[in-house]
Amino acid sequence: MKYLLLIVAVLLAAGSMPVCAGDYIFHQVRTTILVADTEYTTDLITEWAEEQGGYCIYRSMDRIVLRVPSQEMSGIRRYLEQISDAVIEVSIQSKDLREQLVTLRSRIKSSEEILARNLEYLDRTDVKGTLAIEKEVRSLLLELENYKGSLRKLEFDRQFAYYELFLSFKEQTLPQDIPSSFEWINRVDFYRFAEQGAQE
């Protein structure tokens, strides 16, 4: 019983912790850039994200998924323009999280009030009633933990943008077939010449 009350106290304290003020918009960005060396560029981008306080979720030769601090949205765009040959595509989806945050906080507060009332009844009931209340308390604790987990996720999303980056390889183009000023060179079949040399 004391262990149960301790868990309740910890959860209630966590729910009353102040929330940092700031931007409540969650950004999801999808960008494609043109580069000459994909491996080198992925290294550069990963290092840049970590220096800004973000981190890499996934990386391959042609794709990187990052979580970048929301305040660095313009910073990563400028950086990509510097290290790439071209920014081909930028797609941004933004979602206001305030309604979800308010709803979750309201549910948490309501559940905490019900939990507090149930705890008050514990000392006034018989054994059967105590068992029923403890069952209800455990159910409320699970519900609270789920709500608070969702709240932590939303708080994280508003602070870190989700950035998916695709790297398109800039292929080296072959030189154009430019006619020579020496007419006889233009009439030489270099393929047949090389084939004959290989047979000899």
Q: Give me the residue label for tokens 């948490």.
A: 108
Residues 65 and 164 in one domain: yes
Res. 15 pLDDT band, cuts 50 70 90: very low
Res. 48 pLDDT band, cuts 50 70 90: very high
Q: What pTM value is reported for the model? A: 0.65
Does the structure show a pLDDT above 50 at 194? Answer: yes
Which domain range does residue 142 map to? 99-157
Res. 114 pLDDT band, cuts 50 70 90: confident
49, part of any domain = yes
Residues 32 and 88 in one domain: yes
List the one residue out of 133, 109, 108, 105 whose CA is nearest residue 119.
133
Residues 121 and 140 in one domain: yes
Residues 142 and 165 in one domain: no
Res. 20 pLDDT band, cuts 50 70 90: very low
Q: Which pLDDT score, from 0 to 100, does residue 150 have?
A: 95
Could you give the CA distance from residue 149 to residue 108 in angstroms, rounded to a whole number? 11
Q: Which pLDDT score, from 0 to 100, does residue 181 have?
A: 62
Contacting residues for 104 by C-beta, under 8 A, at least 6 apart: 147, 150, 151, 154
Half-sphere exposure of 61 (CA within 13 A, CB side): 3
Residues 78 and 116 in one domain: no
169 bridge partner residues: 35
Kindly state the average pLDDT of the residues 27-36. 95
